[in-house]
Amino acid sequence: MRTSQARRAVVDRELIAALPKSDLHVHLDGSLRIETLIDLARERKIALPSTSRDGLLELVFKRAYKNLPEYLKGFEFTVGCLQDGESLERAAYELCLDCWEENVVYVEARFAPQLHVRDSFTLRDVLRAVAKGMERAKKQINQDGDVVAGRRPRFECGIIVCAMRFFLPVFSRHYSAYFEALPTAPREQIYGLASLELARATVRAAEDDGLPVVGFDLAGQERGFPAAHHTAAYQLIHGHFLGTTVHAGEDYGPESIFQAITDCHADRIGHGTWLFSAGRIQDPKIKDKKRYVESLVRYVADRRITLEVCLTSNQQTLPELRDDLSKHPFRKMRKAKVSTALCTDNRLVSRTTVTDEVVKAVQTFGLSPRELKDLLVYGFKRSFFPGPYHVKREYVRHVLDTMEELFLARGFDVRAGRRD
């Protein structure tokens, strides 16, 4: 389709906002509405650095951070305000509504339940509260007239449960109990036992309670805390056919990504930023670093192991990218035909949306309409969709049809066999 309208048309923010999108990597505790954080802190008598929106944006949730510890500082306040069922349900409900508002029609919210366990508020209670909020939002959203009429894809969502690579007693009462019960045990044993407990709770939530728990994740500092400490947990998850993802290649080199794939059966990788960085390899057994990276990239691409790319978050925590996003390896990922999905990481802490992330990708890396469509669709295809495969296929087909109609209305024919 080559008309004067088509030549004038551009992939602008308005079109990107209208397109159906997914978010496969978004932390619940990093994505609260700032007004909700203020409300919860006041109700629960938790001191914040400021009680105003502008004050918190200036002091805590910034556009740019000096380093990763400063970036993570905000989680002290958000997690502190999410210590009961009511607050967790509210946060999950509002996250889904915020996603829907920008046409993110599929979201997988992840969080670490062991940070929220208190007294009689158990792991099962934590997961039920988040699921209740998400299901309430889903039911409300899918009563929308455009959804009922089939003009918009219905809203779908799932929960990814996060284990922590390492933790300290001060992180939560639940974590503290491990150190009290095992005062002489090696730290790596304690970390592994905690993740195995969480994996068991994840399986029970999915299979016995019927909650929309779709996957398992490993988060936290990579350096010095290898994924191998958590193989028992991942083997259990793998044996029950749940989705697996691991934060890797964000704070360590390519060998961390390979370990996540081999030791933890990772279907997806959170970030994977240093996939191509041979200079970051630290394993002395790897002699030919260039060849190792080439082999790893081919391995990841061939097996369609998806990288959950978070552009804004990476810019905020990695000095190498702060002033020039074009240095981000996203371009190399695409050139190598690696499967990628654009994600927010933390909507509040990074002050971003999926629309923001896609706009950055289009403007920085020059994505064509066809490339953008393929990228967005792959986020749905590589999701841990909470339902049978044939239902997922029908859902993705509806998403794809909706995308193509929106593109066509703006002068871009991105259907198979056509040219933009």
User: Strand, coil or helix: what is 23?
Assistant: strand
311 vs 327: CA distance, rounded Å: 11
1 vs 355: CA distance, rounded Å: 26
- Identified catalytic residue from 222, 250, 255, 308: 250
CA–centroid distance for 14 within its chain: 24
Active site residue 156: no
140 dihedral zone (left: phi>0; alpha: psi -120 to 50; beta): alpha
Single-letter amino acid, residue 121? F
266 vs 121: CA distance, rounded Å: 30
Short-list 133, 65, 143, 62, CA closest to 98: 133
The total of other beta-carbon atoms located within 10 Å of residue 208's CB is: 9
Short-list 68, 19, 8, 109, CA closest to 411: 8
- Do you know the residue count of the chain? 420
Short-list 314, 353, 343, 380, CA closest to 110: 343
Q: Would you state the structure tokens that stand for residue 233, as one six-digit string?
A: 């947990």
30 vs 164: CA distance, rounded Å: 15
Contact 82, 29 (CB under 8 A): yes
Contact 325, 290 (CB under 8 A): no
Helices (H), 142-253: 145-148, 173-181, 187-207, 231-239
The total of other beta-carbon atoms located within 10 Å of residue 337's CB is: 12
CA–centroid distance for 2 within its chain: 38
Cα dihedral angle (156, 237, 252, 28), rounded to 10 degrees?
A: 30
What positions carry a catalytic annotation?
A: 250
